[in-house]
A = this chain, B = another copy of it.
Amino acid sequence: MKYIIIGAVAGGASTAARLRRLDEHSEIIMFEKGEHVSYANCGLPYYIGNVIKERNKLLIQTAASFKERFNIDVRTMTEVINIDPKLKTITALNHITGNKYVENYDKLVLSPGAEPLRPPLAGINNTGIFTLRNVNDTDHIKDFIKQKEAKKAVIIGAGFIGLEMAENLFDLGMEVSIIEMGNQILAPLDYPMAAIAQQHIRYKGVQLLLNSAVTAFEKNNNSIKVLLKNGDTLDADIVILSIGVKPDTRLVTNSGLKIGDVKGIWVNEYLQTSDPDIYAVGDAIEFANPITNQSMNTYLAGPANKQGRICANNIVLGNVQKYHGAINTAIVKVFDMIIATAGMASKHITKANIKHIVSTIPGGSHAGYYPGAEQMNIQIVFSPENGQLLGAQVAGYKGVDKRIDILSSIIQNKGTVYDLSEFEHAYAPPYSSAKDPVNMSGFVAENILQDRLRIFYWDQFSQISDDDILLDVRSETEFNAGAIPNAINIPIDNLRDRMTELDLNKNIYTYCQAGLRGYLAQRILRQNNYKSVLNLSGGYQLWETCTKEMETSQEAVLL
């Protein structure tokens, strides 16, 4: 057998290595149009930021090491410019020699990846404006910063890469501004979780401009002038464009292979394209979202690597293993914080017309009585019908990575909020609490499903009329330090005695700092014949963060 693989990073490299382990005697050729193979994409921002100090740490494998260890013929700087599925050949172009040649294959694997979006803005090709996708981009950015002694950076697009670049350039001592068209950073997340991170970014001293669009770039002496739609301008020594990527299907469209609904390479559940001898993996493919069944792309290293393994199994052993899709579990370091997501955001489920409930709770990274515990917020999204967990997001400091992985595992297994409650975590004071925040999120969701807890959200205050009661059940000290406008204060521990102060016929909206005391208040009131009592999900804390962030970004637009 002769296997050809196009693209030698994540998915392609994984496929190649697995093919060899399954089939020692076949011929395997892997083409890579770039200079480097199987490098650490996800490490690139950290190498620019000098967190990763040695460049060769990024280069996990080389063409030589693939040859030595796996007997794989890796051809770098060689672009496949044509595929002929009928003849089962590809045409390769060696960019160094200019030599063009044809290779035949028995099975072909496509792993072309994704390409960064570059909108057709005036001046976008000026010096100093970069996208970051591979080692060469990284080298160019690093060299440019050094030579230019860059002091001011503008990041366009506040996705994962944009935020990682913002942090790394900031840590190099630069003045950093982030420009984002949307009304929040991190588009895959729901607003409240993004707002928590936004507050942290501003606190760190990075300028964050939301609802802001770039219209053009101009040369300005030795620097770049970034023009915004609202007329403002920003000066930059370096600009990083990180507005997103799209599947790189340029090669595929010409070869007659099927392209799917969301412009990725169409593959079946065995990762086989519309041609049975051609498989595809990685950022360029699309597949069914396991939650909605709608087509989706994913641009994550984890799924690409797993696809590589499955693809090789299917090629050698004959379509033995189905790919079950990805739930887009992702995580990003944002300065001192960690922000993570798995499954679907509420806003996307809403678009898919799936009924769901959102609940947010705060929790500690570990037992509060053991030193060093840090707070996180867990938002879960679940089905009101059967409690199935559809999505989860976590924003906080240490321990966020652990919680999102547990939640991801449960979403992936089509588990419910009852599984969150029953989840048996490993507890010792340095690592968790007797009831882990994951358990707590399940307990709260159960209470909601069983109508023991009725909630409202930070963005629903406009529903509260002057005739309703907004009841703050925190302590007097907490209340006096800052409360929601128009709230009255009865501390939870006094509520049983002072309940008569509340009119039985009025709608009551309770809240506390985090949600627990408000829930207790609701239990007391509802069992004392108060019919309409709702408790604020996420408590005062989340309300304050979201409301302030909303005001800040609206002010910026109005300025």
B-contacting residues of A (Cβ < 8 Å)? 10, 20-25, 40, 42-43, 46, 51-53, 57-58, 60, 68-69, 71, 160, 164, 300-306, 309, 324, 326-327, 329-333, 338, 340, 342, 367-371, 401-402, 404-406, 408-410, 412-413, 415, 419, 421-432, 434-436, 439, 443, 452, 492-493, 496, 519-520, 523-524, 527-528
Bound-complex Cα distance A327 to B496 (A):
40
Contact across chains for A306 and B429 when beta carbons are under 8 A apart: no
Of the residues B305, B370, B528, contact of A435 by C-beta under 8 Å: B305
Please tell me if the beta carbons of A434 and B10 are within 8 angstroms of each other in the complex: yes
- Per the bound structure, the CA–CA distance linking A57 and B423 in Å amounts to 26
| Chain B residues, CB < 8 A from A428 | 42, 160, 164, 330-333
Known: A21-B523, A68-B493. A367 touches B425 (CB 8 A): no
- State A199–B410 Cα separation when bound (angstroms): 35
A429/B302 contact (C-beta < 8 A), A371-B52, A423-B409, A424-B342 known: no
- A402-B405, A415-B413 known; A429 vs B40 contact (CB < 8 Å): yes
20 contacts between A and B (CB under 8 A): A21-B519, A22-B452, A22-B523, A24-B524, A40-B369, A42-B427, A43-B367, A51-B371, A52-B370, A53-B371, A57-B369, A69-B492, A301-B434, A303-B424, A306-B421, A306-B422, A329-B425, A333-B430, A401-B402, A405-B405
Let me know if B10 and A496 touch, CB within 8 A. Answer: no
CB atoms of B333 and A401 under 8 A apart:
no
Chain B's closest residue to A426 (CB) is B331
Q: Please tell me how many copies of the chain the complex holds.
A: 2
Which chain B residues border A370 with CB–CB below 8 Å?
Answer: 43, 46, 51-52
Known: A367-B43, A419-B413. A425 touches B402 (CB 8 A): no
A405 contacts which chain B residues (CB < 8 A)? 402, 405-406, 425-426
Q: Which of B68, B421, B434 is close to A42, meaning CB atoms less than 8 Å apart?
A: B434
Looking across the interface, which residue of chain B has its beta carbon closest to that of A68? B493
- Measured in the bound complex, the distance between the Cα atoms of B404 and A415 in whole Å is 18
Which residues from B are CB-within-8-Å of A369? Answer: 40, 43, 52, 57-58, 60
Q: B residues within 8 A CB of A43?
A: 367, 369-370, 429
Whether A424 and B302, one on each chain, are in contact in the complex, defined by CB atoms closer than 8 angstroms, is yes
Q: What distance in Å separates the Cβ of A361 from its nearest Cβ neighbour in chain B?
A: 15
User: Which B residues touch A436, using CB under 8 A?
Assistant: 302
Known A370-B51, A419-B413; contact A408-B426, beta-carbon cutoff 8 A: yes
Task: Select the residue from A326, A333, A369, A523 with max chain B CB neighbours within 10 A.
Answer: A369
Q: Are A443 and B367 in contact (CB under 8 A)?
A: no
Min Cβ gap A398→B in Å is 10
Closest to A18 in B: B443
Is the Cβ of A24 less than 8 Å from the Cβ of B425?
no
Query: Closest CB of chain B to A366's CB: distance in Å?
Result: 9
Please state if A331 and B431 are interface contacts (CB–CB under 8 Å).
Answer: yes
Among A160, A492, A523: residue with most chain B CB under 10 A: A523
CB distance from A333 to the nearest CB of B (A): 5
Contacts of A423 in B (CB 8 A): 408-409, 412
Nearest B residue to A409 by beta-carbon distance? Answer: B409
